């Protein structure tokens, strides 16, 4: 029988004395083993998870346990955890063992959560299908030849297949929301700077945001209220006060919702996704909310802006992987220059190399102003316009993805067609506003559909409460 789908279920079992943390960890370990073919975990921390479970069990008896006692969490392979390997699913970090613990992970541990392992992802978070991992692809539990989404594909499937209670991923341009939509779970990307990035292997630092996968909204909110907040180790983290999100889920007001015209009428939007989105909009109207179709003519510019800026930032961030400081070093290195060249050529995969080259190009002296500076100016306009829309309206509603999960290999050698999969998720990333994807029915093939909600900067409380309410109107 399936158990421990949510933290509520775990807390009830613990309170009634029907279970303890050790047995709960063992339950998930068993599931991970049975479903090993999904390839969601690249490493399971059985020993440290069981040790932590024992400590938490003692604290529960003593009445000193933290807020997340009994919560079992998987972390994307870009988040450091002292004494455990971390590779960004790349050969270049082969053999690297973390010397510190990411702030977000540490805050979970401080509240007595249990970290059960690290999860597969696209190499350095670059991708939309989890096909670019050195550990191979992740399969969906629903047993099709469809991708789980990316880059946090392992984190999404771990929750979909009940291999942990919740998981952490990272969202630079959609990597939490898109795999959540493809796998039928909840995926939240908070406001940029809401969660410290310390201990997160950087892809594009002005976009990277740690996000949360869960099957219930209260669980998602519980995690964010623990990991959010200012961190002295990340000067970009925000000192805006963290609200008790999980205690503020009641929603009983009438709101104004904007439906993005350009998204709803995008030629690439799958008919069933459009239908399901409109059906929810209709129900919102019937319930007395104001729903209006609005124009956002900047939408076609969001994707190019995203890919220019993120590749530029990636080319700078990934310069540190040189075969000397971390992980992989080429054995064929007659001199220092060849050592750098060979280590990077052999250590990075195709997609990462493509982005480093593109990023180096847009930053090069003759093209800097035409591409990088221009994209930064466009980013500012997109951010201002998005925030303006979100002051006129409480929420913005649009599909999470143009299509449901596509087939492995479908985008083959055409990276641009893969990038177009991010069409609807990049806006929140470029603007830095919070966004969530919640399940909204399935298409005719039985593949999950995601509905995306955006709110203004630091409006996580409102976003969670509205999404909680919205999940009573979505299709199952
Ligand atoms: N698919 C997008 C990309 O490849 C988003 C990735 C992410 O959010 N990490 O850049």
Q: What is the DSSP code string of 319-358?
A: GG-SSSSSS---S--SSHHHHHHHHHHHHS-HHHHHHHHH
Residue 20's SS3 state is: coil
Q: Which of 89, 132, 133, 151 is catalytic?
A: 151
Look at residue 1 in the predicted model and tell me its pLDDT.
Answer: 78
**Would 287 be classed as within a structural domain?**
no
Residue 224's SS3 state is: helix
Look at residue 304 in the predicted model and tell me its pLDDT.
Answer: 97
Look at residue 169 in the predicted model and tell me its pLDDT.
Answer: 98
Burial (CB count <10 Å: 0-12, 13-18, 19+), residue 250: exposed
Written as six digits, the tokens of 85 are 């390997």
Look at residue 319 in the predicted model and tell me its pLDDT.
Answer: 97
In this structure, are residues 21 and 45 in contact, taking their beta carbons and an 8 Å threshold? Answer: no
- Could you tell me if the CB of 125 is within 6 A of ligand 1? yes
Look at residue 367 in the predicted model and tell me its pLDDT.
Answer: 92
Using the mean position of ligand 1's atoms as its centre, give its distance from the Cα of residue 131 in Å.
Answer: 12
Using the mean position of ligand 1's atoms as its centre, give its distance from the Cα of residue 425 in Å.
Answer: 9
Q: Of 193, 191, 257, 207, which is closest to residue 389 (Cα–Cα)?
A: 257
Look at residue 352 in the predicted model and tell me its pLDDT.
Answer: 98
Residue 123's SS3 state is: helix
Look at residue 143 in the predicted model and tell me its pLDDT.
Answer: 84
Look at residue 144 in the predicted model and tell me its pLDDT.
Answer: 85
In this structure, are residues 321 and 347 in contact, taking their beta carbons and an 8 Å threshold? Answer: yes
246: annotated active-site residue: no
* Measured CA distances, 238 to 129, 232, 233, 243, 343 (Å): 31, 10, 12, 13, 37
**Would 227 be classed as within a structural domain?**
yes
- Could you tell me if the CB of 422 is within 6 A of ligand 1? yes
Which amino acid residue places its CA nearest to atom 5 of ligand 1?
Answer: 173
**Would 114 be classed as within a structural domain?**
yes
Low-confidence stretches of the chain (pLDDT beneath 70): none
Q: How far apart are CA 36 and CA 34, in angstroms?
A: 6
- Per the structure, how many domains does the chain have? 1
Written as six digits, the tokens of 344 are 């990077």
To the nearest 10 degrees (0 to 180), the angle between helices 299-317 and 350-363 is 100
Residue 218 has φ and ψ, to the nearest 5°, of -55, -40
**Would 197 be classed as within a structural domain?**
yes
In this structure, are residues 460 and 190 in contact, taking their beta carbons and an 8 Å threshold? Answer: yes
Using the mean position of ligand 1's atoms as its centre, give its distance from the Cα of residue 431 in Å.
Answer: 15
pLDDT for 25-47, tens place per residue? 999 999 999 999 999 999 999 99
- Could you tell me if the CB of 196 is within 6 A of ligand 1? no
**Would 300 be classed as within a structural domain?**
no
Residue 398's SS3 state is: strand
**Would 277 be classed as within a structural domain?**
no
Using the mean position of ligand 1's atoms as its centre, give its distance from the Cα of residue 432 in Å.
Answer: 14
151: annotated active-site residue: yes
Q: Which atom of ligand 1 is the closest one to the Cα of 170?
A: 9
**Would 233 be classed as within a structural domain?**
yes
- CATH number of the domain residue 159 falls in: 3.90.1300.10
* Measured CA distances, 363 to 137, 206, 278, 312 (Å): 32, 16, 42, 6
- The residue range of the domain holding 153 is 7-247
Look at residue 412 in the predicted model and tell me its pLDDT.
Answer: 83
**Would 368 be classed as within a structural domain?**
no
Beta-bridged to residue 454, according to DSSP, are 396, 435
- Could you tell me if the CB of 127 is within 6 A of ligand 1? yes
In this structure, are residues 473 and 280 in contact, taking their beta carbons and an 8 Å threshold? Answer: yes
């Amino acid at each position: 029988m399936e158990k421990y789908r949510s933290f509520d279920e775990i807390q009830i079992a613990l309170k009634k004395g029907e279970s303890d943390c050790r047995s709960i960890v063992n339950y998930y370990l068993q599931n991970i083993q049975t479903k090993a073919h999904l390839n969601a975990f690249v490493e399971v921390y059985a020993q440290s998870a069981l040790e932590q479970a024992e400590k938490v069990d003692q604290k529960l008896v003593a009445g000193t346990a933290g807020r997340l006692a009994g919560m079992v969490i998987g972390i994307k392979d870009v988040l450091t955890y002292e004494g455990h390997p971390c590779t960004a699913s790349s050969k270049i970090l082969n053999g690297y063992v973390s010397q510190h613990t990411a702030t977000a992970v540490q805050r979970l541990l401080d509240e007595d959560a249990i970290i059960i392992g690290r999860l597969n992802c696209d190499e350095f978070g670059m991708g939309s299908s989890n096909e670019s991992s050195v550990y191979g692809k992740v399969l969906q539990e629903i047993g099709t030849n469809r991708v789980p989404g990316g880059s946090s594909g392992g984190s999404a499937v771990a929750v979909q297949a009940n291999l942990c209670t919740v998981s952490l991923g990272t969202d630079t341009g959609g990597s939490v929301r898109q795999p959540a939509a493809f796998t039928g779970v909840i995926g939240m990307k908070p406001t940029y700077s809401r969660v410290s990035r310390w201990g997160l292997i950087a892809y594009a630092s002005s976009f990277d945001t740690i996000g949360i996968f869960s099957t219930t909204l209260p669980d998602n909110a519980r995690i964010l209220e623990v990991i959010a907040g200012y961190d002295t180790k990340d000067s970009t983290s925000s000192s805006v006060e963290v609200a008790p999100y999980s205690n503020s889920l009641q929603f009983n007001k009438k709101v104004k919702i904007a439906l993005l015209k350009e998204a709803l009428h995008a030629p690439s939007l799958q008919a069933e996704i459009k239908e399901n989105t409109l059906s929810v909009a209709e129900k919102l109207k019937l319930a007395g909310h104001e729903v209006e179709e609005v124009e956002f003519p900047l939408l076609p510019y969001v994707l190019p802006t995203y890919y220019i800026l993120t590749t530029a930032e990636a080319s700078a961030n990934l310069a540190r992987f040189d075969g000397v400081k971390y992980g992989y070093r080429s054995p064929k290195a007659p001199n220092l220059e060849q050592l750098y060249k060979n280590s990077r050529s052999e250590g990075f995969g195709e997609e990462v190399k493509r982005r480093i080259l593109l990023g180096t190009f847009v930053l090069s002296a003759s093209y800097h102003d035409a591409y990088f500076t221009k994209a930064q100016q466009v980013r500012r306009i997109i951010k201002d316009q998005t925030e303006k829309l979100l002051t006129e309206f409480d929420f913005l509603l649009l599909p999470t993805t143009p299509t449901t999960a596509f087939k492995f290999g479908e985008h083959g050698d055409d990276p641009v067609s893969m990038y177009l999969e991010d069409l609807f998720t990049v806006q929140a990333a470029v603007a830095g506003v919070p966004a969530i994807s919640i399940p909204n029915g399935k298409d005719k093939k039985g593949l999950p559909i995601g509905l995306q909600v955006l709110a203004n900067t630091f409006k996580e409380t409102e976003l969670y409460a509205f999404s909680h309410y919205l999940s009573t109107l979505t299709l199952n």
